[in-house]
Structure 1
Amino acid sequence: MKKLLYIVAGVVAALVLAVVVFTAVFDPNDYKDEISGAVKDATGRDLVIAGDIGWNLFPNFGLGLADVTFSNPAGFAEPIMASLKKLDVSVALLPLIGGNLEVSHIAVDELSVKLTTLPDGTDNLADLTSASSADKPVETQPADSSSSKGSLASVKLGAIAITNISLAVDNQQTMSQQQVTLNYFKLNQFVPGERSEAALMAEVKSDDTDISIAIESAITIAEAFDLIELHELALQADIKGPSIPNGELNKKISGHGLIDLAGPSVDLKDIQIEVGSLTGSGWFKFQQQAVPDIQMALAFDTLNVDEFTPVSNGESPEEAKKTPGDPDAEPDLSALKSVNFDGDLSFNKVLVAGLTVTNVKLHANLKDGVLDANPIHLDLYDGTADARAVLNAQQPVGSYRSEFKLNSVQALPLLTDLAELTMVSGNANFDMDIRGTGLSTNKLKTASTGNGNFAFKDGALEGVNIAQMIRSAKAMLKGEKASEEVKKTDFSALTGSFSLAKGVVNNPDLKLASPLLRVDGKGDMDVVASTLDYAASVEMVATSKGQGGSESDDLAGLTVPLKVSGPLDDLDYGIDMSAALKGEYEEKLEQEKEKGLKKLSDKLGGFLGGNKDDKN
């Protein structure tokens, strides 16, 4: 046994002595010029090693490199394309005897690379890629059992520290610039089958947007190098820029899961998400294939859409209206064909443009360029809304169809919060089916087709009192003045159907019923101009006492034409009272005419000396 120990000790001593002699005799700095010359011959570029190439002997064998630069090709203003401040690599010697590679540490500091594209499209990588493709391909022999005899039994990496790495992209053709900085990447060890601690911090600057990312995670890499287990993933991202709501947005994501390198695929569980004030949880799966596949289920608390709406870069609403986008421009939907997706989203509450909805649930499926959102459900204003929307991006110009239904929704607060309209109140039920081809602003307004129906119960037309308008018009014809009343027309039911074509909504069968009056109407709404043109017939079926009138002001039996027109937010109501009362006043005129003729006859008879009692 002692002899074996002596032999091993002797081999180790000889190996250490050989390394010492080798490093003492061989100075890599003597070969700087040869290394630079070889790079020059291969690439036409200058590689300059200004610092020393040094050996590290204790406690591990290693190599250090410092102050290295690599030049740009001719024609570029900046002389340097890449530079490296420091590189250190250390390897444990003794494990190599058994075929085990143990790298005690790797350190890289201040590596800088700048990729430049000139206005003519030439970039500073073109000559390198063309040179590599021109090289003769290396012929490889089929692997056999003998080739594996020289392979390493195991690989272990110690601490890895990569700091201050920067990549700058300057595209002078598109006038865009990006800067990616890896502040640090740290790994305490890389040992397959054992837990490692990793941390990363990076920054991305693109035009006027800055993104900083920090990641910490405990990981285990399988011995077969085919699986990475994420034990405690924590990611934080801060986004800043004038186009970001409030100038800044913070994101935090945590969870655990698996990364299958053979798939490759990602499976994350128990995800916790914080984006601004939005918080949620769920799971996420990603499978890389010909068309990447994503599956997920996320549940959130309260979403304030305004918080995530981009700011207007200082433009006032009036200025924004002066410079609208192209109303005929079709959106680019090609991204919908680049991924398949199936997932569920839910929100306890959503706030958008003054509208408040709760219990929001959405299932969406995207496959082969067809996005099908079904079902869509939400609770709002004492009722519910259910919908389905399909967007087809398989053709160059996208098409869509949607089904939408409101059930027992309070109309007045909904319209007020949604569009600041106070047109109608009551319990609303609404069905609509709409479809079209083309998603430009003009196509959506003019090329959509569809139909639907509506029914309001126990409500009122807000802003107009039809009965009072009729009383006022009648009083004016009599030279009288009617009293002012609340501008509201109560009803027990308001129903109708509609169709949409060529930018016009047509309603042929409006019916309003109340204890006081009945209304039958028809008309059009111009979607493009947001105007209404409506004609209705109002029949008074009872005394007006029930809505501000008096018994002596009985309008029962009177039928009045009603005209409603103008912008939706400022409608004009017109009563044609002369037409309504024409028959009544014609009869009175005839009566007055007969009375006048009789008086004239009596006067003429007296003048001629006759007597109205004479029979002759």
Structure 2
Amino acid sequence: MGKFLKYGAFLVLVLILALLVIPLLISLDDYKEDIEAKIKSETGRDLIIKDTITFSILPAPKIVLSDIELSGLPDEQKLPILKVGKAKATLAILPLFTGTFVISEIMLENPKIHIEKQNNSKGLQTLKTDNNGKNSATNNPTPLQIPKLPFSIKRLVIENGQIIYVQNNEKIAFENINLIIKNLLGQGPMEFTINSKIFEENILLNGSINANQPLMPIMAEGKIKGEKATLAGEFSLDDLSFAGNIKYQGNAKHLSDLFPMIPIGLQREFDLTTRITADKENILLSDLNFSMGKILAKGEGGYKFKGGVPTLNLNIVPGNIIAKVTNDQALKGYKINIKTQGLKPLLEELQINSSDVPLLLSNNISLGASVTYSKNTVDVQNISLLLGEANLNGNVTINWQPKLNLSYNLETNKGSTLMKLLGINSPIGISGVKIKGQSSEEAKIWQTDTLLTLSGIDTHIVGKVDTASSYKPYLTITANGQNLGNSLKQLLNQKEASAALGAFSLSHTISGQMPVLEIILNKSDVTINKNKTSLNGKANIDLTNKPKIIFDLVTSEINLNDSSNQGNTSNKGNVSPATQKSGSPWSKEKIDLSFLNAFDGTFTISVPKLTKAPLNIDSMKSKLQLASGKLNLEFLSGRIYGGSIEAHGHVIAKTGEILLNTELKEAKLKDVVPNYKEIKITEGNFNFSSKLQSLGTSEHQYINNLSGNINLVGTEGKINGVNLQKVLDALDKMNDLSSIINLLDTSFAGGQTAFNNLEANVIIKQGIGTLTHFKLDATAVTVGAEGKVDLPKYYLDVNSTVKVDRQKLPPFNVHLYGPLDNIQRKVDAKALKQYLVENVLTKVIDKIQGGKGGAGDILKNIIGGSSQQAAPSPTDNPDNNNGTENLIKKGLGNLFK
């Protein structure tokens, strides 16, 4: 017995050594060519085994192949379709004793599958066997058949695998694939577990497939980001179809990755269920249900592989949203239609702050468009977007190969309304807007060539914006129009257009690097009263924090005179008072100064000559400083009529306060076209100063709150609207009393008076100007005045006293009153009349008593009567002297009534 055990143990040891040594003595490399040829004949692909083939018997039979590659077909791709770092196959020993061949495990380490679809590829190629029993590649797929093999595989293991799918230079990678399949090609259901990574997210998938039935039951459960999806159904091998159900349970916080409008902080569970039916041509979804809190969506949809056309019919509450995607046979694409009574309830349920666009969300929205997709292009045509009263129509085309390119042709009927609905308060009024052109992006550099049309202005934008590291624009913007006055009327919502502003062309470039930009204005001009004015300037804009602008503008000569009205100035005085319009013109419309808070800046403007009759300003320069909502006019200077003018002041947005100080020194007015009906200084040497301030929110309030003072000193000048020389000439002659009295009225209704000195001082409080001092010295005439100018009521009330240095004549008064655009005059000359009666009467009586001239001739000269008029004879009254005196007094008394 001992010897048996001894020899038995020795035989076992020899057998074990043989099993260990025999694999070392036998090389399988001789079979490489046979294996490669067999794979070639079966698949049409080349198999390359770069390393040696090894096998071992203990502890279980195992074959190991290293560094394996399986090539793609010649017309498919150049890279290998499969690369495996190491492949191991282990046989089960016990089943061999029963005559059954079972592979207990196949393990693939670091396998890499590379699938690439070329642009000219018509589809994935499959294999079929021809009549000679050989396999060949074809584009006509045959029904899938799982081969019946004389062995089974208990377990397939893949470690650290990778699948890369490339189409049109776009790559999708499945990485870190770890797969375990139990009962592969065996009897009963096949179980699988996949642990992989896609789009930087870990995915765990478990399930089972029973491939031994015509309708293969499939059950799978997947988990990603803690969310779970389940799939249960049946797969048919006959027609490659699937029918089943999908259920997905997730959290809204993960939807923000796909839908940026959903708040990242929203934590709410949702459920998605649907019935799915798929075959080689379509995927159909029915009984589609989505629920998340109060948000419910029901509908159906589908996708057709041929043409890539989706369909969808979805109803969403709250908001009564109806979304439809249907097939468009005419365009070989699909139509999109979305309607809603308002998005506000939906966004509130999603906890999205809708305060920025309240008008948009509370209005009806309707969107319709036709979409086609081909290769790398999406074409959106017949866009019809209706938001409240605003609409947007047009076409957009997007092409992303070889670079992203956008083409657009859009227009809206109400630009400002559309912007307001989107939460943008436009500082200007925009009605119809058209935008047409194209923009492209390559290597994060955007190129654009766009034409923007609004309010009669065509704006052409050409250039590029580099977005690689930061925004670096270089754009040339040219704006043209035929009537700047009409354009500004529309943009600024003015009631009337300026007739002076005509055709214009503005060209400027924008360059720099965000947030600092430089704008250069050149080759620009604007037509003012048929005179072309050129504009040149430079602006620097810093958007680091609060926008800051530094702007320097230089113009050519500006002529504000309307050539069509030149020479007609004097005719203005011929307008009768009955046709003139009176009343307060001050508007109560709100003046919004809030735009002064939007940015800070420094602005300088230089104008070589500014002409506006009767003013001519040379070398005008100004500088304004804006900071924290306060606009300071640091200085305004220039030369006017040989003198100098300076001004400074400020405007404060918060309070509406306005302050303006002005000073004019040694100005010499001359050659001013006179308007003889209007009281106005036309010539002379003058010094002028004013200090005015006010506050309010409308023109009406500014006038009511106006306060300050005005001072004027002039010498050797002329004043229109009054002619005192006629009065002096008549008083010197004193031959025709009626003409003297008439001249007192007419001399303050027009004409011109030369003066030696003029002084005036006005103090303004609450919009009412009080004339505290007025003195005009003319030849033998002195005029003084006092009174008020009520600007809020647009009314004048001034009393003036005229003193004439002739034969101790008493002064007479002139009352100026009425609306500022229809001033009335009333002459009060009672004292002068009495003086004339008393003094002229004495001379007349002396002449009569002295026998110098007949009484009729003397009276004719006094009252200006006709030489044919009968005069009473001195002989008619016995008391000749007293009768003549009484008669003259009676006639003069009637004259001066």
Give the TM-score, by structure 1 length. 0.63
Q: For each residue in 1:17-72, what CA deviation from the matched residue of structure 2 results, as whole angstroms up to 9, or x when unmatched?
A: 5773459889997358436567737785334252589xxxxxxxxxx983432322
Task: Write the deviation string for residues 377-431 of structure 1: whole angstroms up to 9, x where unpaired.
Answer: 3444443432223222213xx2212112223334576695999654553122211
| Aligned mates of 1:335, 1:475 — CA distance in 2 | 67
Match of 1:133 in 2: none
Q: Deviations over 1:309-345 (max 9, x none)?
A: xxxxxxxxx9996999874444232222233232112
Cα deviations by residue, 1:491-536 (Å, 9 ceiling, x for unpaired): 2221232212244332333233355344444443444444341232
> What secondary structure sits across from 2:314 in the alignment?
helix
SS in 2 for 1:34: strand
Q: Which residue of 2 aligns with 1:267?
A: 518
* Alignment-mate amino acid for residue 663 of structure 2: K
Q: Are the counterparts in 1 of residues 672 and 682 from structure 2 also a CA contact under 8 Å?
A: no
Q: What stretches of structure 1 of length at least 5 have no aligned partner?
A: 54-63, 91-105, 125-154, 308-317, 541-554, 601-616
Distance in 1 (CA, whole Å) between partners of 2:599 and 2:773 is: 46
Structure with the higher helix share, 1 or 2:
1
Distance in 1 of aligned mates of 2:579 and 2:80 = 80
Structure 1 residue 299 corresponds to structure 2 residue 554: yes
Pair 1:536-2:779 in alignment: no
Letter in 2 for 1:11: L
User: In the superposition, relative to structure 1, how do residues 222 and 291 fare at CA in structure 2: closer, same or farther (>3 Å)?
Assistant: closer
List aligned pairs for 1:127-166, cutoff 5 A: 158=403, 160-166=405-411
2:536 aligned partner, one-letter code? S
2:335 to 68, 83, 105: 68
Q: What is aligned with 2:188?
A: none
Q: Name the amino acid aligned to 2:479.
A: Q
Q: Which whole-Å deviations, capped at 9, do the CAs of 1:170-213 have from their partners, x for residues lacking one?
A: 979x99995544322143x62357xx753112345xxxx45543
Deviates more, 1:496-505 or 1:418-427: 418-427
Q: Tell me, which stretches of 5 or more residues in structure 2 are unaligned?
A: 1-49, 51-68, 82-113, 126-138, 142-166, 168-278, 285-300, 304-309, 343-361, 393-399, 422-428, 490-496, 563-577, 850-878, 880-897
Counterpart among 537, 540, 543 of residue 285 in structure 1: 540
- Residue from 434, 444, 452 that aligns with 1:202: 452
Partner of 2:238: none
Structure 1 residue 301 displacement after superposition:
2.1
The residue that corresponds to 2:314 in the other structure is 40
| C-alpha contact (below 8 Å) 2:324/2:337 kept by paired residues | yes
Aligned length: 495
Question: Which residue of 511, 516, 523 maps to 2:775?
Answer: 511
8 Å Cα contact 1:354/1:418 also seen in 2: no
Q: Residue 152 of structure 1 corresponds to which residue in structure 2?
A: none
Paired amino acid for 1:10 = K
AA partner of residue 387 (structure 2):
T
Q: Would you say the 8 A contact 1:381–1:414 is kept in 2?
A: no
Distance 1:247 1:22 in 2: 72
Contact (CA 8 Å) 2:713, 2:758: kept in 1 or not? yes
Distance 1:333 1:577 in 2: 55
Matches within 5 A, 1:448-459: 448-459=706-717
**Mapped partners of 1:447, 1:112: distance in 2:** 53
What one-letter code is carried by the residue in structure 2 that aligns with 1:406?
L
* CA distance, structure 1, for counterparts of residue 729 and residue 438 of structure 2: 82
Aligned-residue offset at 1:157: 6.0
CA distance in 2, matches of 1:253, 1:12: 61
CA distance in 1, matches of 2:500, 2:785: 51
Match of 1:400 in 2: 658
Letter in 2 for 1:500: I
- Summarize the Cα distance change of 1:386–1:571 in structure 2 as closer, same or farther, 3 Å threshold: farther
Q: Aligned pair in 2 of structure 1 residues 286, 177: CA closer, same or farther (>3 Å)? A: closer
Which range is displaced more, 429-438 or 570-579? 570-579
Among 352, 367, 370, the residue aligned to 1:81? 367
Q: Determine if contact 2:599/2:627 at 8 Å carries over to the other structure.
A: yes
* Corresponding letter in the other structure for 1:213: T
What SS class does the counterpart of residue 730 from structure 2 fall into?
helix
Separation of aligned partners in 2, 1:185 and 1:407 = 58
CA-CA distance at 1:432 after TM superposition: 0.7
* Alpha-carbon separation, structure 1, partners of 2:591 and 2:556: 31
**Distance (Å, rounded) in 2 between the aligned partners of 1:488 and 1:46:** 80
Aligned to 2:603: 343
Question: Matches of 2:676 and 2:804 in 1, distance apart?
Answer: 33
228 and 289 in structure 1: CA distance in 2 versus 1, 3 angstrom threshold: closer
Deviations 1:73-96 (A, max 9, x none): 369999961314445564xxxxxx
The alignment's C-alpha RMSD in Å is 5.4
Letter paired with 1:576: A
SS at match of 1:11: coil
Q: Which residue of 1 aligns with 2:436?
A: 183
Q: Which residue of 1 aligns with 2:690?
A: 432
Correspondence list, 1:45-64, <5 A: 45-51=322-328
Q: Distance in 2 between the 1:571 and 1:579 partners? A: 21
Match of 1:235 in 2: 478
Mapped contact 1:111–1:165 kept (Cα < 8 A): no
The residue type paired with residue 292 of structure 1 is P
Residues 18/500 of structure 1: CA separation in 2 closer, same or farther (3 Å cut): closer
Offset of residue 455 of structure 1 = 0.9
Partner of 2:381: 110
Deviations 1:230-287 (A, max 9, x none): 1x613235487695557996654434443534x3x42223544334544311112223
CA contact (8 A) 1:499 1:507 kept: yes
Alignment equivalent of 1:499, drawn from 744, 763, 779? 763
Q: Shift of residue 160 of structure 1?
A: 1.5
Counterpart Cα distance in 2 of 1:349 and 1:336: 29
- The change in CA–CA distance for 1:556 and 1:282 in structure 2 (over 3 A counts) is same
The CA deviation at 1:453 is 1.3
CA distance in 2, matches of 1:181, 1:487: 57
Is the 8 Å Cα contact of residues 676 and 752 (structure 2) preserved in structure 1?
no
The amino acid that maps onto 1:163 is Y
CA distance in 1, matches of 2:482, 2:379: 27
Q: In the superposition, relative to structure 1, how do residues 113 and 260 fare at CA in structure 2: closer, same or farther (>3 Å)?
A: farther
Change (3 A) 1:278 1:518: closer
Which structure exhibits the higher relative contact order, with contacts defined as CA atoms closer than 8 Å and separated by 6 or more residues? Answer: 1
Aligned in 2, Cα 1:577/1:89: closer, same or farther, shift over 3 Å? farther
In structure 1, distance between residues paired with 2:506 and 2:482:
14
1:436-477 Cα shifts (integer Å, max 9, x gaps): 222544434443111121111111333434354256358669
CA spacing shift, 1:490–1:391, aligned 2, 3 Å: same
The corresponding residue for 1:390 is: 650
CA contact (8 A) 1:65 1:88 kept: no
Task: Please identify the structure whose Cα radius of gyration is greater.
Answer: 2
Asked if the contact 1:238/1:248 (under 8 Å) is kept, the reply is no
Whole-angstrom distance in 1 between the partners of 2:739 and 2:580: 47
Deviations, residues 103-127 of structure 1 (Å, cap 9, x unaligned)? xxx66453624132279xxx99xxx
Letter in 1 for 2:383: S
> What's the counterpart of residue 829 of structure 2?
576
Q: Displacement of 1:566 after TM fit?
A: 3.6
Superposition map of 1:358-377 within 5 A = 358-377=618-637
Cα 1:588–1:326 shift into 2, 3 Å? closer
TM-score (norm 2): 0.45
CA contact (8 A) 1:168 1:179 kept: yes
Structure 2 vs 1, CA of residues 78 and 441 (structure 1 numbering), >3 Å: closer, same or farther?
A: closer
Residue type of the alignment partner of 1:431: S
State the alpha-carbon separation in 2 of the partners of residues 283 and 418 from structure 1. 46
